[in-house]
């Protein structure tokens, strides 16, 4: 805790730096390059995610659960990629690992055109997920190193806006394009995106030294940081809710004759997240995490209650805005908190730990709470998730909030 207090004091003077000055310090060449790579890769990831199920059902006559696994297995691959990347970053440095991740992702996406059966589609999707996990962890770690420490909250918030934008662009492009072009053409676009990322990579300037003392390949401490696990348990609980929003929005909206407005749900989510992340990032730098976490978790719970009761377009879209202001800030502030818990040499492991629990929650949510739909309906499921988020708020207080204090 002493090390963390010292770092918090180092950020105390951030309020004296103008917004323009902070942005100039944050938005350097390397920050811009990795943010653009993250935006493109995550857009392609969500594009594939929302179109995988329908493709598997049409091309291979798969059942709904089996077809859904083509999307779920990408999450599994992403988790695996994140898990191994933390230690690889310490061995080889971020530049080499990021390049390897982009090459792996490009090859796995291009490998789609060699797939001729459902099992091979699973393999292709798994490796694509691994590539996404490696790229996401590497870009997040590079950002942690190239952002001045006193601007970590704002910088991470700006970087994570690329993921929020991808979350809106990916599903929107996937659903829109699939109505006009073949799935093979859609995958060619993804290959093109991957190749563009490869070209952009070579725009990286020299990076700070990121190699540290080699750790055993067989030590769990080499891959995750135990100091971040307690806080990341909160992410696991809270992210169960967002996984269900992603997975069931289409069928939920169809049941309530809201399919048209539902196409705008994630766009409004992204707008709200993009509009509020700079503010929450700056508040984190100046006031600490508690002043942000309690409101955003309450907003997340409120948005789920609104979603459960949404029988009109305006209520559905309002819940999307509330979710963007709430959960839309959880990822960026959560990553900033994770980085504040460790020393600079453990940034890679801290990033890996947080996102493993983050992705695990999103992946597990539909499987766990999907069983409630036949008996409670979608409204009962979303209300149950609202109470789960409130439980996550209590867990946050017990595991982290009461120890964090109010800020600087």
- Is the residue at 13 inside a domain? no
Query: Given CA atoms 192, 193, 194, 200 in this order, what sign does their dihedral have?
Result: positive
230 and 202 within one domain? no
Task: Compare 14 and 327 and report the one with higher pLDDT.
Answer: 327
* 329: pLDDT strictly greater than 70: yes
194 and 111 within one domain? yes
* 111: pLDDT strictly greater than 50: yes
% the chain with pLDDT above 70: 90
Q: How many domains does the chain have?
A: 2
pLDDT at 151: 76
pLDDT at 291: 92
pLDDT at 6: 43
pLDDT at 2: 40
171 and 40 within one domain? yes
Residue 117 zone, left/alpha/beta (φ > 0; ψ -120 to 50; rest) = beta
The CATH number of whichever domain residue 126 belongs to comes to 1.20.1250.20
152 and 65 within one domain? yes
* 408: pLDDT strictly greater than 50: no
Final residue before a domain boundary, out of 149, 183, 206: 206
Q: Which residues contact 254 (CB under 8 A, 6 or more apart)?
A: none
pLDDT at 371: 81
Highest-scoring range by mean pLDDT, 39-53, 78-92, 132-146, 228-242: 228-242
- Is the residue at 197 inside a domain? yes
143 and 100 within one domain? yes
pLDDT in tens, 278-325: 888 888 888 888 999 999 999 999 999 999 999 999 999 999 999 999
d(CA 72, CA 70): 6
What range does the domain containing 329 cover?
A: 218-408
383 and 261 within one domain? yes
Task: Compare 339 and 126 and report the one with higher pLDDT.
Answer: 126
Alpha carbon 333 to its chain's center = 12
% the chain with pLDDT above 90: 42
pLDDT in tens, 183-233: 999 999 999 999 999 999 999 887 766 655 555 555 677 677 889 999 999
Q: pTM of the full predicted structure?
A: 0.76
Final residue before a domain boundary, out of 173, 206, 239: 206
Pair 137, 355: CB distance under 8 Å: yes
* 12: pLDDT strictly greater than 50: no
pLDDT in tens, 330-357: 988 898 899 889 887 788 788 888 988 9
- Is the residue at 145 inside a domain? yes
d(CA 35, CA 31): 6
140 and 275 within one domain? no
Final residue before a domain boundary, out of 186, 206, 226: 206
238 and 127 within one domain? no
Read off φ and ψ for residue 48, nearest 5 degrees. Answer: -65, -40
- Is the residue at 10 inside a domain? no
Please provide the average confidence, as pLDDT, over all residues in the chain: 85
- Is the residue at 3 inside a domain? no
Query: For the ranges 21-25, 210-214, 257-261, 334-338, which has the lowest average pLDDT?
Result: 210-214
142 and 107 within one domain? yes
- Is the residue at 4 inside a domain? no
* 176: pLDDT strictly greater than 70: yes
- Is the residue at 388 inside a domain? yes
| Residue 82 half-sphere exposure toward CB, CA atoms < 13 A | 26
249 and 163 within one domain? no
pLDDT at 112: 96
Pair 296, 325: CB distance under 8 Å: yes
Pair 362, 75: CB distance under 8 Å: yes
pLDDT at 103: 98
* 23: pLDDT strictly greater than 90: no
Task: Compare 165 and 305 and report the one with higher pLDDT.
Answer: 305
* DSSP secondary structure letter of residue 180: T
376 and 347 within one domain? yes
252 and 338 within one domain? yes
d(CA 158, CA 23): 9
* 383: pLDDT strictly greater than 50: yes
Pair 196, 40: CB distance under 8 Å: yes
Average the pLDDT over 27-49 and give the result.
Answer: 92
pLDDT at 199: 97
- Is the residue at 7 inside a domain? no
């Amino acid at each position: 805790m002493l090390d963390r207090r010292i770092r918090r004091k180092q950020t105390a003077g951030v309020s004296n730096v103008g917004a323009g000055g902070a942005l100039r310090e944050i938005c350097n060449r390397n920050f811009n390059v990795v943010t653009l790579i993250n935006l493109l890769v995550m857009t392609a990831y969500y594009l594939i995610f929302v179109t995988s199920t329908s493709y598997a059902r049409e091309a291979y006559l798969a059942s709904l659960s089996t077809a859904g696994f083509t999307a779920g297995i990408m999450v599994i691959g992403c988790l695996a990629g994140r898990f191994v990347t933390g230690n690889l970053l310490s061995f080889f440095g971020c530049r080499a690992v990021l390049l390897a991740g982009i090459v792996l992702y490009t090859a796995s996406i291009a490998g789609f055109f060699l797939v001729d059966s459902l099992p091979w589609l699973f393999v292709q999707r798994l490796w694509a997920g691994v590539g996404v996990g490696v790229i996401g962890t590497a870009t997040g770690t590079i950002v942690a190193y190239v952002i001045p420490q006193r601007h970590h909250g704002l910088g991470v918030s700006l970087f994570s806006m690329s993921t929020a934008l991808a979350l809106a662009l990916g599903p929107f492009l996937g659903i829109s394009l699939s109505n006009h072009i073949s799935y093979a053409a859609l995958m060619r676009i993804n290959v093109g995106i991957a190749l563009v990322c490869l070209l952009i990579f070579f725009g990286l300037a020299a990076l700070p030294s990121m190699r540290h003392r080699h750790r055993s390949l067989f030590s769990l401490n080499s891959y995750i940081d135990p100091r971040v696990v307690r806080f990341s348990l909160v992410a696991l609980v809270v992210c169960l809710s967002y996984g269900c929003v992603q997975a069931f929005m289409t069928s939920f909206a169809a049941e309530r004759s809201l399919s048209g407005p539902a196409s705008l749900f994630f766009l409004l989510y992204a707008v709200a997240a993009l509009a509020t992340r700079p503010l929450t990032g700056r508040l984190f730098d100046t006031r600490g995490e508690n002043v942000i976490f309690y409101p955003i978790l309450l907003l997340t719970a409120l948005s789920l209650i609104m979603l459960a009761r949404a029988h009109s377009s305006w209520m559905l879209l309002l819940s999307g805005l509330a979710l963007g202001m709430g959960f839309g800030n959880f990822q960026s502030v959560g990553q900033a908190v994770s980085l504040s818990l460790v020393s600079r040499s453990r940034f890679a492991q801290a990033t890996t730990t947080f996102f493993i629990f983050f992705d695990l929650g999103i992946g597990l949510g539909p499987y766990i709470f999907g069983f409630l739909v036949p008996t409670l309906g979608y409204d009962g499921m979303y209300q149950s998730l609202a109470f789960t988020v409130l439980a996550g708020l209590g867990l946050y207080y017990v595991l982290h909030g009461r120890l964090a204090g109010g800020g600087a």
